[in-house]
């Protein structure tokens, strides 16, 4: 079975500053990795995904993530955040062999301040 | 496309009452998922369907919970009888037949409060 750890429950950051949201996973098989974003009172939306190929993945809204197999990490980054990026971010993993059963992390609340 | 549609958006009920949550997935999606989100437990997968057939219901907390998908465009999650600890936001999500690599499309959720 796979698992996901998001070490930071909250990350405060000033507008236009860079941010990194950390995600580590555990799995005995190959995985697919995802980042989702949840705005207040809404469902989750896909930010980006890693399936195979280049380890640097670019997503919507200027976010990117890097898959690091040796460190079993998939950290999310943005070079300059905006107030509108304030939301909760979830890392998720599914194994390559099974059905579409995602395991989500506990989420990181990103709060962008002026 | 209207996206995944859930109803109602909010539900307040008294302990012991039956609650039915509804979901209309995106047309053409073969997978449908029910998730529950709470502060304590985060996002939990309750059950998922493929082509209207329940595939894995191991996340359903107990027999008080049941889910059905009578056709490709409709699913329900029922709690009978409801208890205060069932209070949470319940999300429905759907995805394409490619399954494991397809992103999930979530509805806006139903916020359930059981008093």
Which pLDDT belongs to residue B107?
95
- Give percent above pLDDT 90 in chain A: 75
Q: Is the pLDDT of residue A22 over 60?
A: yes
Which of B45, B55, B103 minimises the CB distance to A49? Answer: B103
Collapse the DSSP code of A68 into the 3-class scheme (helix H, G, I; strand E, B; otherwise coil) and give the result: strand
Which pLDDT belongs to residue A82?
96
Query: Chain-wide mean pLDDT for chain A?
Result: 92
The A-side interface with B (CB below 8 A) comprises 32, 34, 36, 41-46, 49, 51, 90, 94-102, 104-107
What is the rounded CA–CA span in Å between residue B13 and residue B23?
A: 19
Which pLDDT belongs to residue B79?
97
- Rounded average pLDDT over A9-35: 93
- Rounded average pLDDT over B33-49: 92
pLDDT tens-digit profile of B80-115?
A: 999 999 999 999 999 986 556 778 899 999 999 999
Contact call for B104 and A46, based on CB within 8 A: yes
A interface mutation test: which of B1, B21, B104 has the most A CBs within 10 A?
A: B104
CB atoms within 10 A of CB A30: 10
pLDDT tens-digit profile of A87-112?
A: 999 999 987 765 557 889 999 999 99
pLDDT tens-digit profile of B3-29?
A: 999 999 999 999 999 999 999 999 999
User: Nearest Cα to B65, choosing from B42, B43, B94, B88?
Assistant: B88
User: Nearest Cα to A73, choosing from A86, A61, A55?
Assistant: A55
Lowest-pLDDT range, A66-75, B58-67, B93-102? B93-102
Which pLDDT belongs to residue A68?
94
The B-side interface with A (CB below 8 A) comprises 4, 31, 33, 42-43, 45, 48, 50, 55-56, 91, 93, 95, 99-104, 106-109
What is the rounded CA–CA span in Å between residue A2 and residue A42?
A: 26
Q: Which residues is B31 bridged to in the sheet?
A: B50, B95
What is the rounded CA–CA span in Å between residue B5 and residue B23?
A: 6
Collapse the DSSP code of A62 into the 3-class scheme (helix H, G, I; strand E, B; otherwise coil) and give the result: helix
Place A2 in a pLDDT band, splitting at 50, 70 and 90: confident
- Rounded average pLDDT over B46-73: 94
Long-range contacts of B76-80 (CB under 8 A, 24+ apart): B76/B20, B76/B21, B76/B22, B76/B23, B77/B20, B77/B21, B77/B23, B77/B34, B77/B46, B77/B47, B78/B18, B78/B19, B78/B20, B78/B21, B79/B18, B79/B19, B79/B112, B80/B18, B80/B19
């Amino acid at each position: 079975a796979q698992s996901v750890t998001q070490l930071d429950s909250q990350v405060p950051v000033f507008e236009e500053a860079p941010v990194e949201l950390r995600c580590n996973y555990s799995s005995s098989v190959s995985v697919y990795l995802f980042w989702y974003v949840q705005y207040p009172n809404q469902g989750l939306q896909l930010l980006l995904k890693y399936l195979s190929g280049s380890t640097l993945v670019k997503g919507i809204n200027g976010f990117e993530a890097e898959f690091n197999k040796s460190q079993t990490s998939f950290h999310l980054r943005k070079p300059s955040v905006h107030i509108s990026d304030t939301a909760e971010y979830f890392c998720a993993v599914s194994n390559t062999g099974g059905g579409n059963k995602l395991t989500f992390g506990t989420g990181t609340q990103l709060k962008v301040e002026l | 496309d209207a996206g995944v549609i859930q109803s109602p958006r909010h539900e307040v009920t008294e302990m012991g009452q039956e609650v039915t949550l509804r979901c209309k997935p995106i047309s053409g999606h073969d997978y449908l998922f029910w998730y529950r989100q709470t502060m304590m437990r985060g996002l939990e997968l309750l059950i998922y369907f493929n082509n209207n057939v329940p595939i894995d219901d191991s996340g359903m907390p107990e027999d008080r919970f049941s889910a059905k998908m009578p056709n490709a465009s409709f699913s329900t999650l029922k709690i009978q009888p409801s208890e205060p600890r069932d209070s949470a936001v319940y999300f429905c999500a759907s995805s394409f037949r490619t399954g494991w690599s397809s992103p999930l499309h979530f509805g806006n959720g139903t916020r359930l409060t059981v008093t």
